[in-house]
Amino acid sequence: MYYHDKRLQYPVKVDSPDPIYARMLQQAIGGIEGEIRVCMQYFFQAWGNRAPTTKYRDMLLATATEELGHIEMLATAVALNLENAPTKVQEAGAADAIVGAIMGGENPRHIAEGMLHKTLLSTGMAAFPGNSDGLPFDMSHVYASGNIAADMYCNVAAESTGRVLAVRLYNATTDAGMRDMWSFLIARDTMHQQQWLAVIEELGGHAGTLPIPNSFPQEKENQKFNYAFFGTSADGSPPPAGRWTQGPSLDGKGTFSVVQNQPMGEEPVLGPARPDSGAESQQIG
Which residue numbers belong to the known binding site? 35, 58, 67, 70, 159, 192, 233
Please state the residue numbers annotated as binding site for Ca(2+).
58, 233
What φ, ψ does residue 273 adopt, rounded to 5°? -70, 150
Distance CA 26, CA 35 (A): 10
- Say if CB 121 and CB 16 are below 8 A apart: no
Q: Is the peptide bond before 213 cis (omega within 30 degrees of 0)?
A: yes
Distance of CA 211 to the CA centre of its chain: 22
Sequence letter at residue 14: V
User: How do strand 247-248 and strand 228-231 relate by DSSP bridges?
Assistant: unpaired
How many Cβ atoms sit within 10 Å of the Cβ of residue 222?
Answer: 7
Q: Which residue ranges are tagged as binding site for Mn(2+)?
A: 35, 67, 70, 159, 192
**Could you please report the per-residue DSSP string of 54-113?**
SHHHHHHHHHHHHHHHHHHHHHHHHHHHHTT--HHHHHHHHT-HHHHHHTTSS-HHHHHH
- Helices (H) and strands (E) counted in the chain, each on its own, are 9, 3
In this structure, are residues 27 and 131 in contact, taking their beta carbons and an 8 Å threshold? yes
